[in-house]
Copies of this chain bind each other. A is one copy, B any other.
Amino acid sequence: MLKGTVAVHPDKKKAVLDATKRLGFQPNVLAQSLASGRSSTIGVLTQMIGRPFYDSISQGLVAELSGTGYSPIFTDGRWEKAEQKQAVGALVGRRVDGLIVIGGTISSSQIAEMVNDLPVLLVARKCENGDLHSLAVDNELGAYQATKHLIEQGHDRIAMIGGLADHEDAIARSVGYRNAMNEAGLKVDRELLVEGDFSAESGVRAVDQLLQDSIHFTAIFAANDLTAFGARLALYRVGKRVPEDVAIVGFDDQMESSFTTPPLSTVRQPAREMGELAARAMVGLVEGQPFESVLLAPELIVRESSKN
């Protein structure tokens, strides 16, 4: 009755509603769920809470979910397969109405078989076999744009600091970088490629190494902004100016990037918006609406770190 599923006499209705308010009655969502078979809960499996990009997605999710009647339940997969499987299991056990998986390394088919016809939305990753919905950004395109921009600025010795070697996004970004280089007829010197792990520390290390090996480079494309911050600091330490001596472009456009000195050029991933979109899409899916997987185009943001 409180949900308006049955018709009752207006007077009576009012009386009940009043009492409801007066006594501070809170319906037991658990019982509602058990009886109705819907928990009004969305499971969210994220990876490595603390990383700006994934956090921003979560933020969008929570913000957009609030007020929809659905509450998110978060779990952290920490990029480890075992943890991710366990997390999905826990979420299924909680009878979430839908599952949002942000990043992660367990295969989509593995997820699919665990959830058993529950709507699932993959965020910030593509779905290998297309049987789950997904919402991702075209990393390859973004990296291509960033590198091309650097080339257009006259650079031909562009170092790339990669992300984790086996990370899907990192790989796509490397490919984009190579494509742009090749397209411009520039050869990708192996010595210009240095590995990182998406952390600021790895950016510092990468530049230190480049410097130590006396590799000649006039620009850096970093796998993400955090790495770019680290790279910028390492350059600062040895007195190299940005962008005069070395231009830098990052990837993500996290909040702090427009306030670094100089402000960082980067490839903007609409992380928060992705989270919001995912939330809306998931609520729709739960309620039976269709959803078409999308591959969002990232946007190159040119700031002073790469302008000459």
Contact = CB atoms under 8 A, between A and B. Distances in A.
Interface residues of A, number: 53
Interface in A56-101: 56, 58-59, 62-63, 66, 71-76, 83, 87, 89-90, 92-95
Contacts of A229: 256, 259-260
Contacts of A74: 62, 71-72, 74
Contacts of A62: 49, 74-76
Interface in A23-79: 24, 26-31, 33-34, 39, 41, 49-50, 55-56, 58-59, 62-63, 66, 71-76
Interface in A132-189: none
A243 interface: no
A286 to B, nearest CB: 16
A26 to B, nearest CB: 4
A193 interface: no
Nearest to A66: B76
Interface string A217-261: 000000000100110110010000000000000000001101111
12 contacts: A30-B33, A30-B39, A49-B58, A50-B55, A55-B55, A63-B76, A66-B83, A71-B90, A226-B256, A229-B256, A232-B259, A260-B261
Contact of A75 (B49, B71, B260, B262): B71
Given A30-B39, A71-B90, A263-B233, A59 B50 contact: yes
